[in-house]
Every structure is written in C-alpha cells, then in structure tokens.
Amino acid sequence: MKQKWDERYKDQEFAYGKEPNVFFKEWLIKYDPGSILMPADGEGRNGVFAAQLGWQVTSFDQSKEGQAKALQLAWEKNVTLMYEVGDFENLAFEKDSFDVIGLIYAHFPAEKKSAFHQKLSNYLKPGGLVIFEAFSKSHLTFREANPRIGGPNKLEDLFSEEELQDDFKNFEVLKLEEEEILLNEGKYHNGKGSVIRFVGRKRG
C-alpha cells in the first residue's frame, strides 16, 4: 500500500489538487484555531489549509513522497506544519493532545479502521471535534460507473453511518449523513460519488 501512495504522489501534479476538501473547510472555519491532527494527510492540502487559518498542524502519512509534496505546498503558502511519516500503528501522542482531528478520505484497512478510530479518539481533548469525510458503502456503484471518482474497491473498506456511530460512541453527533456529492479534487477524485460526512464532539 505504501508503494501505491509513493507512486501516486511522486508526480509533479498534486493527485487531489491543492485546495482543501470542501466539507473540511466548511467546518474548520467555524472554530478558533488550536491544535489539529491530520492522519493520512497525503500531499497536505487539508493540513496546509488549516495552517493558513492559524492552526498548529500535525500531519501523518505512510508516504515520504506525500510528505515532500506537503512541505512544498506549505512553503508555497508560507506556513509550517509538522509532518511525520510511518505506519499508523506507530502513531503515538499524549492523551487529550488535540482540539480537532481531521479524517478526510482516511480509508484504513477494514480490519483495523475501528481500532484506529478509537485510538485517535484518545488523542482528542474532551470537547474536541472529529471532522470526517470518506466514501460510503454505496460508493461502489459510482466507482464501477466511473473509476475516476476514486476510492476503495472493496465494500469492507468503505463506511456506513452505523460504523461511525459505533466507532465514536463517546461523541455528541453534530452531523452524520450519507450524501451523494460531485467531487472535483485533482486527478483522482472526479465525478459523482457517495460519502459519509460526520462531525462529532467528544464528551468529557
């Protein structure tokens, strides 16, 4: 999997563009800057956007090529972000370290995604937010019709509302919906797809 992302990100063109995800942007601008963790931040479009708003950003990904592109983008935008590279299993922060966790198309392996979500929850301060967008289980139909929309090709790697409710039990749900949207994010997210959008506030 790491090789796949290194291959994708080593091109000069940004695979998903340089602009932040629309849903992530819409929610993040509502809050005063603090500390934010961005797992699977890839080429950094979302982490860099958060840094432009004044957030203290920690990004994480398994791809060194993604890190290089993210730091390039941060330099272009005259901001800084801390960007770690490695396997998610090795991600380790202090409990209650972050005000927000941004999970934007962070499709972890099916057998690990719930455990990863729970691990991430421990890093979030009480009252902190998770902002999440990823492809839903209904997305496979769209992917078959248009491979350029991107996303996993296995049902178990996609999400349902029920999974999110279960993974983030200790959260007040501010938004949880499955939506059909039109994506225009670089080369690999183009066209109509089905996503789960979730915003939750961690209970104290």
pLDDT of residue 101: 98
Residue 119 has phi, psi (to 5 degrees) of -60, -45
Counting as low any pLDDT under 50, the low residues of the chain are: none
pLDDT of residue 172: 98
Asked if residue 69 lies in contact with residue 46, where contact means CB atoms within 8 angstroms, the answer is no
- Give per-residue pLDDT as tens, 36-57: 999 999 999 999 999 999 999 9
Task: State the Cα–Cα distance between residues 139 and 149, nearest whole angstrom.
Answer: 9
pLDDT of residue 147: 87
Dig out the tokens for 28 from the structure.
């993040």
Beta-bridge partner residues of 100? 36, 129
pLDDT of residue 148: 87
All structural domains of the chain = 2-202 (3.40.50.150)
Asked if residue 97 lies in contact with residue 37, where contact means CB atoms within 8 angstroms, the answer is yes
Strand order of the sheet with strand 82-85?
A: 82-85, 56-61, 35-39, 98-104, 124-135, 189-202, 171-185
Residue 63 has phi, psi (to 5 degrees) of -105, 120
Place of tokens 């290194």: 6
pLDDT of residue 178: 98
Dig out the tokens for 64 from the structure.
């060194």
- Give per-residue pLDDT as tens, 110-147: 999 999 999 999 999 999 999 999 999 999 999 999 98
> Of 159, 201, 195, which is closest to residue 178 (Cα–Cα)?
195
pLDDT of residue 90: 84
Residue 181 has phi, psi (to 5 degrees) of -135, 165
Task: State the Cα–Cα distance between residues 1 and 61, nearest whole angstrom.
Answer: 12
